[in-house]
Amino acid sequence: MVTAQVKKIIKAALEEDIGAKDITTSLSLPSSIKGEGVIVAKEKGLLCGIKVAEEVFKTLSKEIVFRPLKKDGDHLDKNEKVAGVKGNIGTILTAERVALNFLSRLSGISTATAKFVNRVKPANTKILDTRKTTPTLRALEKYAVGVGGGRNHRLNLEKGIIVKDNHLRAGNFLADGELNEVKFQKLIKHLRSESSLKIEIEVENLTEFKSVVKYKPDIVMLDNFSLNTLRKAVALRNKYFPKVLIEASGGINLANIKAIADCGVDFISVGSITHSAQIVDFSLEIL
């Protein structure tokens, strides 16, 4: 998963952290000193980013020997060793913080995602991420969601058609809470004629859902629906439009996601797994 894009991200992160040079290390240690260290998980979590961490060290020096002791998706216990690093000590110390930052951030996302995925079992509901990601880090953060058992929503605006409430209002498809069904039907036909991508429509209440679902978009997103209205929407879909998929979104957390999944929705999108995931702490110890 260390693509050309990821390598650019790593290079930019190193440039940001180092500046012109690591002045402390260069003034404190002989340039030729060699040694080794170990990366340790300081708390429990689900590992993600081990190859990214390796690439950080390798970017500064191909001579660094990085030995993974765990792989992405492995469950970690507190104080468990994740990887060994051997080579020039100055290089190891200079790369340390960037490598650990990537491990911490990505493992935090995979750990958070896994909690949501496990919480909805045994329902068949799939957990989706959103575009609420750290600018420039989306590829890595969505990878971490996958490691945690979640699924990626569209990577960017090019990769999927989601007609949201603002689109409906801006285009006068929706006014005063009522859908202009003549205009909306033309919109659906236009989208299908211009693209082979799946079409998803966001609605904010049961009335909008009833108006939209009869035009059989691929997915209808139910934004901030109560449990009662979720059940009504799912029942209506099941009876009359079984091929239309339903996604729940808005205000999703670990306390309510099980009840939402039990309503029978196909997907639940959770922004917090990327924008608010708590990091998993790691340290590098020189031996």
Average pLDDT over residues 256-282: 97
Q: Tokens in use for 207? A: 């009335």
Whether this prediction's pTM lies above 0.85 is answered by: yes
- When the candidates are 3.20.20.70, 3.30.479.30, 3.40.50.2300, 3.40.50.300, the CATH number that belongs to 117-275 is 3.20.20.70
Q: If you search the block for the tokens 């929705």, which residue do you land on? A: 265
- pLDDT tens track for 175-198: 877 889 899 999 999 999 999 999
d(CA 141, CA 108): 10
d(CA 106, CA 123): 26
Q: How confident is the model at residue 131 (pLDDT cuts 50, 70, 90)?
A: very high
The CATH homologous superfamily for domain 4-112+277-286 is Quinolinate phosphoribosyl transferase, N-terminal domain (3.90.1170.20)
**Phi and psi dihedrals of 170, rounded to 5?**
-65, -35
**Active-site residue list:** 97, 132, 164, 202, 223
Q: List the domain boundaries for the chain.
A: 4-112+277-286, 117-275
- pLDDT tens track for 164-177: 999 999 999 988 77
Among 159, 162, 127, 133, which residue's Cα sits nearest to residue 146?
127
pLDDT of residue 89: 97
Q: How confident is the model at residue 28 (pLDDT cuts 50, 70, 90)?
A: very high
d(CA 206, CA 131): 25
Amino acid at 49: G
pLDDT of residue 178: 86
